[in-house]
Structure 1
Amino acid sequence: MVEETPVPMEHNPHADDLLMPKVVYILYILGPFVTFTGIIGVIIAYVYQGSAPDWLKTHYRFQIRTFWMGLAFLIPGILLTMVLIGWLVLLFWVVWLIVRSVKGMKTLGERRPVEQVERWSF
């Protein structure tokens, strides 16, 4: 009888690298409902982007841009709530933020870089 030697499990040194981008996406999804999670998320993205592999850097850049673009929707939305159109802007911001974050998480789960990081759309 031939004795089989166990096959060593491959250790992926970047498996843990997916945790922080996931945390940022989750913080962004919680952002419309829990104060300051977006700010915490963008700080994490800024801190971790330098040491990430290139494909993961696209996620961090996407997350940073999502924060700043979202702020460009959020501030006018808040200011315009007195005129009622601000509520529509805020609703758009919530949907936009959640869709971008979910799509980013999906791409991250597939271990693919974000394509078109510079886009404003979903």
Structure 2
Amino acid sequence: MSNIDPGPAATGPRPTDRWLEPGPTNALVIYVLYLAGFVIGVSGIVGLVLAYINRGKAGGFVESHYTFLIRTFWIGLLYALIAFVLVFVIIGFVLMFAVAVWFIARCILGLQALQRGEPVKNPESWFLGL
């Protein structure tokens, strides 16, 4: 007989494995990654990849959150690029602040709906998705 340790795979799934599975917990992680993107820029891209991977797999109310999250990233990027171009006309600084407020508000509203177990009412919206 050998005394070889079977490793973590033989003991069952880790509690953190469910963070990557499609569902409310994964959508919550993506919202947090988006918000952390203000401090750690690459985390927003990681969240986008997770949203694309899990969209269409979760079913139920979470599907609207994945659509909302993907659109939040791309629309936010578009708004930020427009604001960056307008920085040369000075108004871009104000628009950058407005884009940051819009992005944070959209993430917070999405988080609140997710915590209530509700879908995003209008995930295809260009504004706040209310």
Q: Percent identity?
A: 33
In the other structure, the counterpart of 1:8 is: none
Residue type at the aligned position of 2:33 = L
Q: CA RMSD in A?
A: 1.7
In the alignment, which of 92, 109, 112 is matched to residue 106 of structure 1? 112
SS of equivalent residue, structure 1 residue 104: helix
- Which one has more relative contact order, counting CA pairs under 8 Å at least 6 apart? 1
2:76 pairs with one of 57, 70, 86: 70
Q: Deviations over 1:37-69 (max 9, x none)?
A: 221111110001121023111000000111111
Give the SS at the match of 1:34: coil
Q: Please, which moves more after superposition, 82-91 or 97-106?
A: 82-91
Pairwise CA distance, 1:80: 2.2
Please, what TM-score do these two structures have when normalized by structure 1?
0.81
Aligned residue number for residue 85 of structure 1 = 91
Matched, 1:60 2:66: yes
What pairs with 1:18-33 in structure 2 (closer than 5 Å)? Answer: 18-33=24-39
Provide structure 1 residue ranges, at least 5 long, that are not aligned to the other structure.
Answer: 1-13
Amino acid at match of 1:37: S
TM-score, normalization: structure 2? 0.76
Q: Which amino acid aligns with 1:91?
A: F
Distance, in Å, in 2 between the alignment partners of 1:96 and 1:48 is: 24
What SS does the aligned partner of 1:32 have? coil
Structure 2: segments with no counterpart, 5+ residues = 1-17
